[in-house]
Amino acid sequence: MLNNLTIQTIIAASFGIGLALLFGNPDWLEARNPLYDCILLLKSVFLSSLRMLIAPLIFFSLINGITGIGNTIRLKRLGGVTISYYLVTTSIATVLALIAVFFIHPWTAYPPVMETVAISDNRLLDPNADSITLVVSGLLTQAFTNPFSALVDLNILGIVTNAFLIGLGMVLVLPADSPLFRSIRDINQVIAKILGWVIRLLPIGIFAILFDFTLKTAADSGHSAAFLNQLLHFSLLVISITLAHGMLVLPAIAYFFTGTTPVRLFRNIARPMLVAFSTSSSSATLPITMRAAEENLKIPPTVSSFVLPLGATMNMDGTALFEALAAVFLAYLFGIELTTIMIFTIFMMAMVASIGAPGMPSASMAGMQMVMLAVGIPLEAIAILLVIERPLDTIRTAVNVEGDLVGALFVSSRLR
Ligand code: ASP
């Protein structure tokens, strides 16, 4: 059931922890040691290569998303219904996550573990802005920045605003068959390929991250036990909310809007969901998803051939839900207090990041960094998520694919 990368990552993780426990020496933290230096090098190269992709990935995939939406709306009803369904269900998933984490946050029983780490200065909101006008003017200044400096400074709001305006301009000015649309799609494919290479390095990155982490915490076993508990609680919450969305919310939508009972739904979509679970990739599952839609759910090919490929790249309920929960979790671990505006920022950024993530294994890790930057969580924190990322990706990808299929059912019933 598990794909290779997952198995490799689990082996690498055990190797990292085991090696640090058996041969690691806490003195290495003070005095330099060539082996430990090499491991730290691997860790920082891996994290830097992930960070390298944030700006181009978000910028181009958003332009692609906006032009995709624009060209889709030209298709009038089909496009409008599809996009509305995608946006509404992704918002439901994200709000569900944020409401749940408001009530259930067992990790707060332990103190934040990373208090000492400095808060990132790329944060969207100025913590000293004490009036709404200052907050708004700070946001607007960041939003309307020239695209080059926004990309260089990793100014997320600037990148998102520029991508949105460029995409909108393209849709309004260029004919639908303009080569520029194609070029943007091509650039996206190239970036996705590079992201794929970086993700191939995940086992090496995880090995180095866990070796370093174990060495730092082995001396203080109480501390590491607390941290492992926090990680476990977080993972269980992610799994429960993802399952709630997949087993309750989406089947309820299918039942109330299309009359498909949950039993019929799951019987007909079990195969693509299993493939998504085992490949952790909505895009790789697409052929199976299309087949289940047409053969089992009897969705007309005119609808499925349009709704499903679009959904595989832009409709990711599980991903948005995960990113929102992860941001709240990491904010706690780093001792960052979240205001209402920051929670709203997390909501918006998780939505944007899920639209921007390609349907590949661990793809949301690049966009996740954008959500983190927005609220001032240091990018290093991504290492914490990477530790538990692979098993969680399986379930969220299955729910992503389920969301696309329910979307196809919904759209075909609306257009009947
Ligand atoms: N693996 C997910 C998908 O393909 C994307 C992600 O959340 O990483 O749908």
Report d(CA 416, CA 413) in Å as an integer.
5
Retrieve residue 91's tokens: 């918002």
Contact 234, 72 (CB under 8 A): no
For residue 336, which of 119, 54, 116 has the smallest C-alpha distance?
A: 119
Longest dimension (CA), the chain: 71
Identify which of 278, 362, 394 to mutate to test ligand 1's pocket (most ligand atoms within 8 A of the CB): 362
Asked if residue 185 has pLDDT above 50, the reply is: yes
How far is the centre of ligand 1, averaged over its atoms, from the C-alpha of 23 (Å)?
36
Between CA 353 and CA 373 the distance in angstroms is 12
More confident site: 107 or 84 = 84
Instruction: State the pLDDT at residue 38.
Output: 92
Q: 334 by DSSP, 3-state: which?
A: coil
Contact indicator for 397, 354 with CB cutoff of 8 Å: no
Stretch 127-149: mean pLDDT, rounded? Answer: 78
Residue 108 DSSP class: G
> What pLDDT does 73 receive?
63
CA separation for the pair 277, 395 (Å, rounded): 6
Closest protein CA for atom 1 of ligand 1: 361
Distance 213 CA to ligand 1 centre (A): 26
Q: Residue 340 Cα, ligand 1 centroid: separation in angstroms?
A: 28
Position 251 confidence tier, pLDDT thresholds 50, 70, 90: very high
Q: How far apart are CA 174 and CA 393, in angstroms?
A: 37
pLDDT tens digits, 343-370: 888 998 899 888 878 888 888 888 888 8
Q: Residues with Cβ < 8 Å from 164, sequence gap 6 or more?
A: 62, 66
Residues 6+ apart with CB under 8 A from 48: none
Q: What confidence category does residue 154 fall into, taking pLDDT thresholds of 50, 70 and 90?
A: confident
Please give the distance, rounded to the nearest whole angstrom, from the Cα atom of residue 73 to the centre of ligand 1.
25
Give the ligand 1 atom nearest the CA of 359.
4
Listed in order, strand segments (DSSP E) in 261-311 are: none
Res. 118: pLDDT tops 70: no
Domains and CATH numbers, the chain: 5-414 (1.10.3860)
Give the span between the Cα atoms of 72 and 83, in whole angstroms. Answer: 8
Whole-model pTM?
0.82
Cα 81 to ligand 1 centre (Å): 23
Compute, in angstroms, the gap from residue 55 CA to the centroid of ligand 1.
Answer: 19
Q: Give the residues surrounding ligand 1 with Cβ less than 6 Å away.
A: 280-282, 316, 319, 357, 359-364, 393, 396-397, 400
Distance 144 CA to ligand 1 centre (A): 30
CA distance linking residue 292 with residue 294, whole number of Å? 6
Angle between helices 340-356 and 54-73 (to 10 degrees): 80
How far apart (Å, rounded) are the C-alpha atoms in residues 157 and 139?
Answer: 8
pLDDT of residue 125: 63
Instruction: Give, for ligand 1, the residue of 273, 397, 404 to mutate: max count of ligand atoms closer than 8 Å to Cβ.
Output: 397
**Amino acid code (one letter) for 122:** N
Q: Other C-beta atoms within 10 Å of 63: how many?
A: 26
Cα 374 to the chain's mean position, in Å?
14
Residues 372-385 have a mean pLDDT of: 82
